[in-house]
Structures are given as C-alpha cells and as structure tokens.
Amino acid sequence: MEISAWMTEQHTIWNLIISLLLGAIVGTQRGWVMRNSQDGSRVAGIRTFSLVGLLGGLVGILGHLLSPLLIGFVLIALVLLACIAFFIQQKKSDDISITGVVSLMVTYVLGVLAVSGQVVLAAAAAVITALVLDNKKELHQALQKLQAYELDAGLRLLLISIVLLPLLPNQGFGPWQALNPYEIWWMVVLIASISFVGYFAIKIGGAKRGILFTSVFAGLSSSTALTLQFSQLSREQKSISPLLASGILLSCGTMFPRLVIVLSVINPQLVKLLWPVVLVMMIALYLPAWWIWRTSDVGLVEQPKEQSNPLALQSALFFGVILALIMLLSHLLSDWFGSAGTLILAALSGITDVDAISLALGRQSTQSLAVSTAALGILIAASVNTFVKMCMVISIGDTALWRRVMPVMLGCIAAGAATFVLLRAV
C-alpha cells in the first residue's frame, strides 16, 4: 500500500512538472516577443506563464479531490486578474489585443489537462499554441492575401465534409444495395479536397512544387480523383500540361506501393507473388513521370486566375453521379453473368476502385481462394483502373496531356501483364 501511494505521489509530481514546462513553452514565445520591454512593464512573461501552468496543475488536483467547480472559479479569478492588468497596460499603449489574456487562459487549461491524464493532448496543444502565437505576422499576411471567393470555398469544403458527410447513412440502398450515400459523398469530398489543396499549393509554391505536392497527397488517397481534376485543369492552363501529366503518372504510380502495404498486413504470401509485378508497373509510371518533370520547360506559369474556383464542387458532384451509375452498372453486369467468377468481379470493381476488391481478395486468399487467383484478380483490377484513368485523360484533358499520359499507361498495363505471365511460366 505504501509503495502504491509513493508511486501515485511520484506520478503527480511529474504531472505538475509537465504543467510547469507546458506553461514555459507558451511563456517563452510571449517573453521573446516582449524581450525589449522594460522590466515590470510586461504583464506576463515566461515566469508568469510557467506559474499559470503550474497553477492549472495544482487546481486540477484539488478539483479532483474536492470539487470540479473549483477549476472554473479559479479560471474566472485568473481572467479577472489578467483583464485588470491588461487594461492598465492598454492605457499606456495603443495595443488593444486580448491575445495575452487568451494565452493565459489556454495555459491554465493546459496545466489542468496535464494532471488529468491527458498529457499528450496538453503537450500537443501547447506546441500548437506557441506556433500560432509565433506566426502572427505570417497569419495576418495570409489573411490579407486571401480572396473572398477563396474563403467561401474553404467554408463550403468544411460544410460538405465536417457537417454533411457524418450525417449520411453508411449503408447500401437501391438495387443490390449498391448505392452507399456515405461512400459516394466521401468521393465528392475527396475530389473537392484535392482541387482545394492543389489550388493553394500551386498559388503558394508555384506550379512545379504545387503539382508535385498535390500528386503525392492524392496518390495516397485517390489517384482517380486527381486524374479527373488535373485533366480539367489542363484545358484551363494548357501551358502546364506537361507538369500535369507528370503529376498524374506520379499519383497513379503511388497506387501500387499503397496496395503492397495494405496486402502485406492481410496476406504476406500474396505480396510475395505480386511484388515483382507491382514493382514493374510502379517503375513504368515513375520513370516517365520523372523524365517529363525534368525535361518540361513551361516558362512563366499562370497562377490561379482571379475568381477561379478553388473547390471545383460541380466537377466533384458530377463525378459522384458517375460513380453511382458505375456502381449500379457493375452490380447489374455481375447479376447478369451470375457467379461467372472472381476475375469478372475484379474487372468490374476496377472500374471504380482498387482498394475494395484488393482487400476482399486478400482476405479470401487466406481462406478458400487460391493465392494465384487472388493475385491475378488484383492485377486485373489495377490494370482496368489504370485504363479507366487513361480514358478520363483522353476524354477530358488537353491534347498535350493525353499524348504524354496514354502511351505510358498502356506501357504500364502491358509491362504488368508480361511480368505476371513470365512469373507464371517460371
């Protein structure tokens, strides 16, 4: 019992030390900003913030022992004291900012969190708070450069993702239970997000770095969505079609290592059979993407146009409708053919998505399905998906875009099929 009490006491002491250090993190930034002020003219510096963090820790312990209301009463007293001090300081200067008061409140809450078993959360919040305080100039400059239509696009993205998406049912409806509102709307959100991220990436980092960042980001989520967005963008800015082609190939190539990582968790035996094919198809996309990237001379690149749409919500909604139709068509064809086999299902699934059918075949290959059949099904799905994206580029994109993308994607499909056949023959 004594050992347990001693360990509890040690744990409490460490939490109080953490509360003090979290206050010091915020206080260091505030103290550095006011480092040239005369002694006694600063309302709160590193010492005050450190003590406020410690105060939060002590009050958090007392609130647990006595009453949680104590935490709120002390917070009110702290706010009143800080307001009085900042009011007196404001009389001596023209600074009417309440950032200092809010910072003290946050520091107090961080101390309470640290002794309440939320040390990681408190530490992360302290670092984020210090970063926000330290980037005052950059944040204000960003707001000055932000256009009204860009702010509107950001708020709409938050509306369709944070507000609407969780409200949709995550279950099948309609014929064959094929239409899942949550999954369809998630694709709409994903396409809109890629458009939004790509817009600001190009605006902030320039075309080359912006397209590169967006391509990698989309390759980890949905290369199909990026292919659609970049194809449309190539018609608006024909001068950057080579860069967009490189971005599409880079994003599509990232699909293959992503598949390997997922399948390695489900069935390592399947990965042993697939990795040579995946490696060949990935290289067949990455190398041309790198070559196009290095040899492209686009000159002066046009920045996003005034009043252009960062969100591209109409395109995302259109893609959502097309996705729903393809889902119905896939189930309809599967129903007509009956149980025609795993490979037909893989080909139909590859029209819209690779991950879902890969996960399904990966699980089945650990039970009744032959590993070779599962591997062939995944290869077919990936090839069909690559072919569909190539067709999107041809039908939607600029001529300069599809002329670069089409031969590479066809070569990728051919290289993957040839590698698989050679492996089966060995």
| Per-residue confidence (pLDDT) for residue 304, from 0 to 100 | 46
343: tokens are 């490979």
pTM exceeds 0.75, yes or no? no
426: tokens are 């060995």
Lowest mean pLDDT across 61-65, 137-141, 286-290, 405-409: 137-141
Lowest mean pLDDT across 34-38, 239-243, 267-271, 421-425: 34-38
Lowest mean pLDDT across 193-207, 388-402, 406-420: 193-207
Lowest mean pLDDT across 128-142, 158-172, 196-210, 291-305: 291-305
Report d(CA 212, CA 377) in Å as an integer.
31
| Per-residue confidence (pLDDT) for residue 300, from 0 to 100 | 43
Q: Is the pLDDT of residue 205 over 70?
A: no
Most confident of the ranges 133-142, 267-276, 282-291, 317-326: 282-291
| Per-residue confidence (pLDDT) for residue 281, from 0 to 100 | 92
Q: What is the mean pLDDT of residues 273-291?
A: 90
Which residues does 214 contact at the CB level (< 8 Å), separation at least 6? Answer: 194, 197, 198, 201, 202, 226, 247
Please write the tens of the pLDDT for every residue from 214-237. 777 766 667 777 888 888 888 888
Which residues does 321 contact at the CB level (< 8 Å), separation at least 6? Answer: none
Q: What is the mean pLDDT of residues 343-360?
A: 72
Q: What is the mean pLDDT of residues 122-151?
A: 78
| Per-residue confidence (pLDDT) for residue 4, from 0 to 100 | 52
pLDDT class for 335, splitting at 50, 70, 90?
A: low
| Per-residue confidence (pLDDT) for residue 327, from 0 to 100 | 60
| Per-residue confidence (pLDDT) for residue 285, from 0 to 100 | 92
Q: Is 146 left (phi over 0), alpha (psi -120 to 50) or beta?
A: beta
pLDDT above 90 as % of the chain:
8
Q: Is the pLDDT of residue 306 over 50?
A: no
**334 versus 68: which is more confidently predicted?**
68
| Per-residue confidence (pLDDT) for residue 261, from 0 to 100 | 76
Rounded to the nearest integer, the mean pLDDT of the chain is 78
Please write the tens of the pLDDT for every residue from 68-96. 888 889 888 888 888 887 777 767 666 66
**113 versus 175: which is more confidently predicted?**
113
pLDDT above 70 as % of the chain:
76
